A and B are shown apart, each in its own frame.
Chain A
Amino acid sequence: MRHPSLRLTPSRMLGAVVIVLAVLALLVWVPNDTVSGYVQSKRGRVSIGDAMAPGLAFGLMALSGALILWETRKSDAPGQPDPRGPAFLAVMLGICVVALTVMIWAGPLAVALFAPDETYRNLRDAAPWKHIGFALGGTGLVTALVCLVEHRFSRLALLIGLATVAVLIGVFDLAFDDLLLPPNGDQ
């Protein structure tokens, strides 16, 4: 059994990782990704450069990491490393990514298949093309998440997804002339 103050708890790990990242950012990121540096000489005067604020913020971050280590020097909750948490998060994110990808590409795909001499960009404000991606992706997102959390597929989940999409199309698209549903503003 190791001494309690040496055990690697989530908080201690967080403190250490934060210090390393903040120092790296201070040494590599900030100097290489700002133009004017910490202070610059402009119009005959010294003025604060673009690196000053981020530099101080990363300094504060390093300090916070040190404080976290210091606060947990005597005792810290061991924490329960449950691999199921991150795994579940990964599944949820996977669902979001797939749903958004469908949302982006379903419309252009439909145009390529059924209206080959037009571009999706020129049809981005025309029904039904503009609704295809949002309807498929949105319904998929809601249905998949409900099924995931409830551990079973249900027709009700699909219904909830369809109803949400229908209400959102009604609220944003039919009620407001200038609003574009995802993904139509990026076209």
Chain B
Amino acid sequence: MTDLLDYIGLGMMAVMNGPALFEIGGIGLPIALVMLAAGLFTGIAVGATPGLAGPMAMAISLPLLISAFGFSPDALLPVFAFLIGIMKGATLGGAVPAILFNLPGTPDAMMTTLDGHPMARNGQPRRALRIAQLSSVAGDSFSDIVLFVCAPFLAVVVEAYLDLPEKTALLILSISFIAAVMGASVGKGLLSVSLGLVVAYIASGNDLSPRLTLGFDALDAGVPLIAAILGVLIVGEILATLETLWRNNRALDVKTEAHGTAQDGLAPGDLKRITPVVARGALIGTVIGALPGVGSTLAATLSYSICARRAKRIPDAQPFGTGAPEGIAATEAANSAVSGANLIPVLSLGIPGNAAAVFLILAADSIGGFNPGPAVFAMPEGETNPQLVIAFGIFTLMAIGNLLNWTVGGAVMRSMSVLAKVPATRLLPVVLLVSLTAIYVQETSMFAVWATLVFGVLGYAMRRLAVPVLPFVIAFILAGPLERSAREAFAATGADPWFLFSSPTSVILLLMALAALVFLGRQR
């Protein structure tokens, strides 16, 4: 127990005592904190800009951050600080154009437009923004606390009770779960997963002559990770959105604008009204967020519809859809609560559940010295586990990020409303060049840039055919661990072909994987 407290202390110190960027009044400002604040403001700005989203900003800033801070373990906390800042800021910023202009800045802010925009149109934009901010930060803080408690616990349980075969089974379960819950159909989810696996298996085998290269020398080192992920996630999105804009130049333009009246701002009794709604939304978001791949849109929809149904039963309640504060609170609390809980499987098992988590894993992978997974939470005797210090440093940063969101987040949100008017027709080509350049700088090979374009086309085609893209990316990341753990388990059990069925735990995990595909897929 005292060990744990020591680590928490070390983690906080790692953030606070890091190299100072500059000094104010003799007190050094730690670089990690500066990066956190910068990331947070960037995130709010990005969320507030229609056509941009948090993951896109994380993707573009990652190569820049790595160039700036290098590959040493000292780089981990500042880089994570910026990325976590973007993640937290973007969920907050997405509500701004949703409320003010009826235009969701991020996909998960869709439900916020339903009550947020009517309230703003009724002359209370500040009140709507304030309610959104408070509910969002409350949901985020709650799920972060759950993360702090659950991730170490889960990791310790996994490491203590799961042997190599069970770890393989657990990876199979996560991949099939993601295929089942994401997108319109299990078939298309599985297609996305299998594509991700196949691409990841190019030239990644054990043989000294690389497999599946089709004789191309350029593929001998495999498909660059960053090219595949950014291609499908970012370039595919840019190509698809540019096409939409080409058909209709005004598709992402501001349509209606709301202006405040005299009695704007939080009304008396608002806090009391939204508290139970926020609590329920935070809980829904956290539970859903902890499952890889389910996502914030579902959490927001679920929370909103549950609250709307309850509101109907109360006779004098304000109906949803007319600018009810509960409507804003229900969606914002739920979609923000997803982001913290989503890191539970990331930190404890190395399994990413959404695009933001993908980029955190990518950052850890690129810098080195921190490998998300059970080993992060090991407490070896007589030695300090630097990964655990980093983990608690990350927790500290998340807590401080929430604090910033509580205090200054609202003011930043209001100031960003102007960004909703930046035309996406000019912004997206710029984002494309920045992404391609960032990829080149990290990979130093034109092949990576061409590969990014090819994967961009794949991402575009997947969007047009309603094949979800996130399972591709997650499967791409988990493909290596899956194959390795299966090989290790097979070898460790002395070449037992039935190693996956050698223990009850692994059989249960496999049955759950099958059940996820059969039952979760059917309900749609």
Contact = CB atoms under 8 A, between A and B. Distances in A.
Chains A and B in contact, CB within 8 Å: yes
Interface of A: 10-11, 14-15, 18, 22, 25, 29-30, 33-36, 45-48, 50-54, 57-58, 60-61, 63-71, 84-85, 88-89, 92-93, 96-97, 100, 104, 134, 138, 141-142, 145-146, 148-151, 156-157, 160-161, 164-165, 168, 171-172, 175-176, 179-183, 185-186
Per DSSP, chain B at the interface is: helix
User: Would you list the 7 A-B pairs with minimal beta carbon distance, nearest first?
Assistant: A185-B444, A67-B187, A50-B205, A68-B187, A64-B190, A145-B429, A61-B194
Contacts of A164: 430, 433-434
A148 B246 CA distance: 8
Contacts of B384: none
B110 to A, nearest CB: 21
A151 B428 CA distance: 15
A179 B68 CA distance: 10
Given A29-B212, A54-B198, A67-B187, A186 B193 contact: no
B268 to A, nearest CB: 48
* Chain B residues touching A, range: 35 or more
A60 B437 contact: no
Contact of B191 (A18, A100, A179): A18
Given A10-B465, A57-B479, A141-B433, 19 more contacts: A14-B191, A14-B467, A29-B212, A33-B212, A50-B211, A53-B197, A53-B483, A60-B193, A61-B191, A64-B189, A97-B453, A100-B449, A142-B432, A149-B245, A156-B426, A175-B68, A181-B441, A182-B440, A182-B446
21 contacts: A25-B198, A34-B212, A35-B207, A45-B491, A51-B211, A52-B483, A53-B483, A54-B197, A61-B190, A61-B191, A67-B185, A67-B186, A84-B247, A92-B239, A93-B457, A142-B432, A151-B249, A157-B426, A160-B426, A164-B434, A175-B68
A43 B464 CA distance: 49
A61 B425 contact: no
A29 B201 CA distance: 13
B190 A14 contact: no
Given A100-B449, A185-B444, A172 B429 contact: no
Nearest to B196: A57
Nearest to B206: A50
Contacts of A168: 433-434, 437
B440 A185 contact: yes
Contacts of B242: 92, 145, 149
Contact of A48 (B437, B466, B486): B486
B445 interface: yes
Residue among B211, B249, B490 facing the most chain A CB atoms (10 A cut-off):
B211
A60 B465 contact: no
A150 B188 contact: no
A172 B441 contact: yes
A34 B211 contact: yes
A47 B487 contact: yes
B17 interface: no
Contact of B445 (A29, A67, A186): A186
A30 to B, nearest CB: 7
A23 B430 CA distance: 41
A182 to B, nearest CB: 4
Nearest to B430: A164
A33 B433 contact: no
Interface of B: 64, 67-68, 185-191, 193-195, 197-198, 201, 205-207, 209, 211-214, 239, 242-243, 245-247, 249, 425-426, 428-430, 432-434, 436-437, 440-441, 444-446, 449-450, 453, 457, 460, 464-467, 479, 482-483, 486-487, 490-491, 494-495
Contact of A181 (B187, B209, B437): B437
Per DSSP, chain A at the interface is: helix
A34 to B, nearest CB: 4
B372 to A, nearest CB: 22
Contacts of B68: 175-176
Nearest to B491: A47
A112 B493 CA distance: 62
B212 A71 contact: no
B440 A171 contact: no
Contacts of A66: 187
Contacts of A176: 67-68
B174 to A, nearest CB: 15
A104 B450 CA distance: 12
A89 B64 contact: no
Contact of B446 (A36, A100, A165): A100
Given A64-B194, A89-B243, A185-B440, A48 B487 contact: yes
B167 to A, nearest CB: 15
Contacts of B214: 29, 33
A181 B445 CA distance: 10
A30 B187 contact: no
Residue among B429, B434, B453, B483 facing the most chain A CB atoms (10 A cut-off):
B429
A35 B211 contact: yes
Contacts of A35: 207, 209, 211
Contacts of A29: 212, 214
A60 B101 CA distance: 44
A57 B249 contact: no
A170 to B, nearest CB: 12
Given A36-B207, A48-B487, A54-B198, A149 B441 contact: no
Contacts of A60: 190, 193-194, 197
Contact of A88 (B206, B212, B243, B429): B243
B429 A146 contact: yes
Contacts of B188: 11, 64, 68
Given A160-B430, A172-B67, A57 B453 contact: no
Given A146-B426, A180-B441, A182-B440, A34 B495 contact: no
A58 B196 CA distance: 11
Nearest to B185: A71
Contact of A36 (B206, B445, B467): B206
A171 B64 CA distance: 8
B446 A104 contact: yes
Nearest to A138: B433
Nearest to B489: A48
Given A61-B191, A68-B187, A186-B446, A179 B211 contact: no
Contacts of A54: 197-198, 201, 211-212
A53 to B, nearest CB: 4
